[in-house]
Structure 1
Amino acid sequence: MDIKRQWKSAKIWRRGICAFAGTYGVCYLWSIAGIIHASFSVLSAPVMLLLFGLLGRTERQLGEMADKRLLWRRVRYGAMVSFLFSVAMIMGYQLQNFGMTGAGVRGKLLILLRGGCLGIAVFPFTNMLFSTAERIPLRGPVQEGQGKWKSGKVFGISAAAVFLCLVPVWLAYYPVIMSYDFHRQLDEASKGFTWFWPYQPIAHTWLIWLFLRLGRLLGDLQAGMACMALFQMLVYSLAAGYACAFLYRILRRPWTVAAGILFFGVFPLNSVLALCATKDVLFGTFFLLFVLLLGECFFFSRGKRRIALSVLLVAEGCLMMQFRNNCIYAVAAFGVCWVLAAGKERLRVLLLCVLLVAGGKGTEKAIRAAIGTEMEIAKVEMFSVPIQQFARVGYYHGEGLDEETWQTLNHYVPHEYWANYYPPISDGVKGNVAVTTFGGAWEGHMGQLLADWFRLGVRYPNEYLDAFLELTRGYWFPDDRSYAECLGYGTEGRLGTVYTQNIGFLEDGTEILHESKLPWLEEQLEKVVSGNAYYDWPVISLLFKSAFYFWALFLVWLAFLYRRQRKQAVLCLFPLLYMGTLLLGPVVQMRYVFPFIQALPVLAGLLLINGERGSYADIE
């Protein structure tokens, strides 16, 4: 009896120490988030009591698990997610409020230590997350005719409904939202093919040229751009309808269709972005289609249907890669992972992946040859991160650098531009580097560049790390605001979460005017996407944050691994690898996240598929 009492007392003391450490983590987070002396606040006492209770409840739940291997599996996964999320929150608030993370080895160790303390407070919630993942039911093979409707009917209804939902938004922003890089592409399109610069995907510039030409034939450039908007709406609606039908085949519930229509057709980030004349709209649509076709190949095809779907996957993948220059790297990396996981089908999958990569590159060359442009892709985009790192070192230490270091830094980023360093976007410094030192110091000098970059990084590791973290903060920090404010925000400037500046100029001075047919609706949408009104919406505001979609995607992938859904985990690597290419980009913007917004419901739906041999077509 005494031993039991002592053991129970030890557990209570251990739980109390953990609750205190977790409370310290929460209070530290509050303090860097803006609550002064949070640890001194009376609020810390109820936080500790609440955490003590949560830890006790979690301990009892884990103790009831009979399978010890599953127990430690859940603890490992929950602890990992808790720690990563906590470190992200701490570093994010440090950057957002102080402009830098904790300096030096001591500063970084404190981040890890405080992240561990905060992770204790987060663990009960991640435990609930993986406990819920265990209870998600698995479904057997879906046969046509199961459920109330056939999938073809669901596709038609959903596609038509999404298109109709977009029509009022189109009228509000008539003829189309002419923002982002549209103005540069419009200028190239008006001059002719030889002016098409691969800085933007040539296929997309060609589409602008096509509808600009249509507008001239009609004698109304507005009508031409309106037709471009309708074309985007049609392609987007068809992909959305396919996604709704795909999810209905899995869930077999009518509410799936209604939820899909509302998400794809009404949710402001989707409906407004779908009307933007930027490459990311069509790329995001083709990205969704590619994920859907991968799902078909992985789970719903066999025999001749598998061959047909494989051909369609290659063709659609080649088309997708023409609308984002960096997509081919994600496809290539995914192909390697897919081949390694393919088992007995490795040869077939290898051939399929080779065709995908070669087809994507070949299609690009064929388009360039047909267009006749000889301009090369602007490689300066690939160096956004090191340019920011050099600029940050110059910005903070320029006056105190020794002569040799000053000359090295000036060789890559001229000293007169160090003051232009702006943490969340590299365009300011990068644009100047592109027209000054890029040709002589960056392009074609990779060996010397890497040596100098590494040597400078050893001397200034904090600046290097912080420059990277600042440039990518919107992807991993849930409370980030830079993705929605990096160039300002407000309904006057139209530069908030989604850029909606709406006017186009041709070289001869001709304007393509924006004339809203539904000004009231435009005003309401502008409050959300330009004025960032969702800041005041509790819980719902999460859906408007770029980091939400990264974390959701990451957690879905971890859920696949946790549940040992091997094929789903392999499929989910494609969007994760594409996300990896964005970490080297010049800025975080919601249009870059658009593909993940589209694909997330489909990927989450795959949690319900068992994928066992004999139930679905197997790739292993």
Structure 2
Amino acid sequence: MIKSNMGPEKINNKKQNVIAWLMSGLFGILSGIFLVFGYQLEKYDNVNFKDAGTYALILCFAVILTIDVRYVWRNYDGARQGKKLFGFVTLGGRTEPKEEKNFMIKSWAIMVVLNTIVILAEFPGFFVYDAQDELNEVLTRTFSTHHPLLHVLLLGGTIAVFHKLTGSWNGGIFIYTFFQMLVITLILAYVMDYMRKKGIGKRSLIAWNLYYGVFPVIVMYNLCSSKDGLFTAFLLYVTLSLIKLVEDREAFLKSRFSVISFIASAVLMPLFRHNGFYAYLVFLPFAFIYFRKELTKRLALVLAVPVVAYLVINAALGAIFSTKGTDHQEMLTVPIMQMARVYTYEKESMSPEDIATLKTYIPEDNLANYTPRVSDLVKYGFNNELYEKNSGDFWKLWIRLGAGHPATYMNSWFLTSYGYWYPPALINVYKGTSVFTFTYTDSSYFGYEVEQPGERNSYIPVIDKLYRYISIGTFHKDAPVLALLFSPGFYMFIYLFVMLYRLSKGEFGRVLPFLPLILTWLTVLLGPTYLVRYVVILWYALPLLSVREPV
């Protein structure tokens, strides 16, 4: 009998090497698909699934990226052991936490000052993305579940009360925006304080603090009235809390502040955007599995209480304010757009009965307004009453059309989501749409405007021009390389790269805290279109990726 000369350490190294190749291979395959499919969608509005060249190109990308990523990971492993990265770059190790009195308050103050400069340039703030609708719900006392009720009450209530006291709409919008900015930047300062305690160097602390204080994407949503800013801030706090929970479970559970603030954030997060609830719900089984050997009753309660609390509070708010029922089209965006695309481009293949059935759920006028990258004009007229009475015919029709048009269905879905995974994608889904003060032409990267009854009064025009240029101007065409820093797809590649590396090292505990973030990203793939507002967490949580654990 031939005995293996490989000891346990060599066997373990070989196993880790195989896993590392599998993870780098997964990165290569996914990246190849995203880049090739994304290019075709951007240029031709569809992917040619029958083209052999498409798959050959994906394979080329996959092989090249797999090898490159494995090379980078191997060099990084060596750098963590003290070698030079790529032979000439030395990774800075962790330093002793910088002791500085009131560091968090100072960090917060810097961000507040920097954001205040921008809000003066964009006075009274970015009052956009359904802001008028939410205010009108409060003014007319007519509430629905279309917008998160907590945000409607907070936004509309603040503005309505201030207007009643002073007669100024702009003043109310400013007060709400400024309050929101204070909450978000406080959480960002808390993140900075955590990074300080983890031994991040002084230069890195300064750089990340400036990143939080001046990077346009972050400042935009700090000062934007949409629900996405506060939702993102609470999701960020949940992520940081989970990092701390994984690092030291006992210390976390002993800290009353840590437990209460985590539960509060995990409840507030879905109250400001409903998909946060589904993301957290799917996250829970992974958390229970990870902590299975040390899953105490206290830990189980801490993780589970947010689900129950959210359901109770959400139901109570709905009952108190007599909200109208759910608009099913918000959950049915993908199937609605898939059938609308078949109707638009392959109507001749549909039977008269199927066409008639489709029109009972989606009026012909709405079907005629089909645009590939955004579902608003199609789903707006969806027959919710009929769906509630007879959803079966809707799903039977969806299955029948899908069986005959699988490529059309895939293209329909990809066209409303590829901006989240293709870095060079131009975010101009509202091109040609007129709003209160302008018509989208070159870009619809960010809403930018002030919806009525507010009005833009800029006190620093030069900054206002910069934000307008980034938001609805030609910035993304003029500076395509720099614009990658503003691309959701680019940041998705960064997170994919980092998470797969951590999995290749068996560092599941360093992936788990980011699962709610990742699952939130997955939920928006089923949404109405691709906009930064739905995935702005990718920017807010980026500094947390830079915190390295000791080897």
Normalised by the length of structure 1, the TM-score is: 0.79
Amino acid at match of 1:78: S
SS in 2 for 1:149: coil
Structure 1 contact 274–281 (Cα < 8 Å) conserved: yes
Amino acid at match of 1:163: V
Give the alignment partner of residue 181 of structure 1, picking from 130, 139, 143. Answer: 130
CA offsets per residue over residues 190-228 of structure 1, 9 Å max, x none? 223xx1222111111111233221232133222222111
| CA apart distance, 1:556 | 2.2
Give the alignment partner of residue 486 of structure 1, picking from 420, 427, 430. Answer: 430
Q: Which runs of 5+ in 1 are unaligned?
A: 1-64, 140-144, 506-511, 611-620
The residue aligned with 1:121 is 64
- Deviation above 4 Å: which 4+ runs of structure 1? 488-492
1:401 aligns with 2:347: no
| Residue pairs, 1:26-37, within 5 angstroms | none
The residue aligned with 1:142 is none
| Residue pairs, 1:82-481, within 5 angstroms | 82-103=28-49, 106-107=50-51, 110-135=53-78, 137=80, 146-150=96-100, 153-192=102-141, 195-212=142-159, 213-303=161-251, 305-306=254-255, 308-348=257-297, 349-370=299-320, 372-433=321-382, 437-440=383-386, 442-481=387-426
> 1:587 & 1:136 partners in 2: Cα distance?
41
Residues 1:553 and 1:404: Cα distance change in structure 2 (over 3 Å):
same
Q: Which runs of 5+ in 2 are unaligned?
A: 1-10, 83-94
The residue aligned with 1:586 is 528
Structure 1 contact 269–529 (Cα < 8 Å) conserved: no
> 2:317 & 2:294 partners in 1: Cα distance?
33
CA offsets per residue over residues 30-72 of structure 1, 9 Å max, x none? xxxxxxxxxxxxxxxxxxxxxxxxxxxxxxxxxxx99443433
Residues 1:308 and 1:274: Cα distance change in structure 2 (over 3 Å):
closer
Amino acid at match of 1:97: K
> 2:164 & 2:279 partners in 1: Cα distance?
38
Larger Rg over CA atoms = 1
Number of residue-to-residue matches in the alignment: 522
> 2:190 & 2:26 partners in 1: Cα distance?
35
Residues 1:535 and 1:153: Cα distance change in structure 2 (over 3 Å):
farther
- Greater relative contact order (Cα < 8 A, sep 6+): 2
Amino acid at match of 1:275: L
Instruction: Supply the RMSD in Å over aligned alpha carbons.
Output: 2.6
The residue aligned with 2:542 is 600
Structure 2 contact 138–152 (Cα < 8 Å) conserved: yes
| Residue pairs, 1:33-44, within 5 angstroms | none
Structure 2 contact 337–378 (Cα < 8 Å) conserved: yes
> 1:226 & 1:66 partners in 2: Cα distance?
59
Q: Percent same amino acid among aligned pairs? A: 25
> 2:546 & 2:125 partners in 1: Cα distance?
32
> 1:138 & 1:455 partners in 2: Cα distance?
57
Amino acid at match of 1:515: N
The residue aligned with 1:542 is 484
Amino acid at match of 2:541: A
Normalised by the length of structure 2, the TM-score is: 0.88
> 2:524 & 2:261 partners in 1: Cα distance?
26
Amino acid at match of 1:199: H
Structure 2 contact 47–411 (Cα < 8 Å) conserved: yes
More helix by share: 1
Amino acid at match of 1:368: G
> 1:464 & 1:311 partners in 2: Cα distance?
45
More moved, 444-453 vs 383-392: 444-453
The residue aligned with 2:92 is none
| CA apart distance, 1:538 | 5.3
The residue aligned with 1:58 is none
SS in 2 for 1:302: helix
Residues 1:179 and 1:374: Cα distance change in structure 2 (over 3 Å):
closer
SS in 1 for 2:272: coil
Residues 1:368 and 1:406: Cα distance change in structure 2 (over 3 Å):
closer
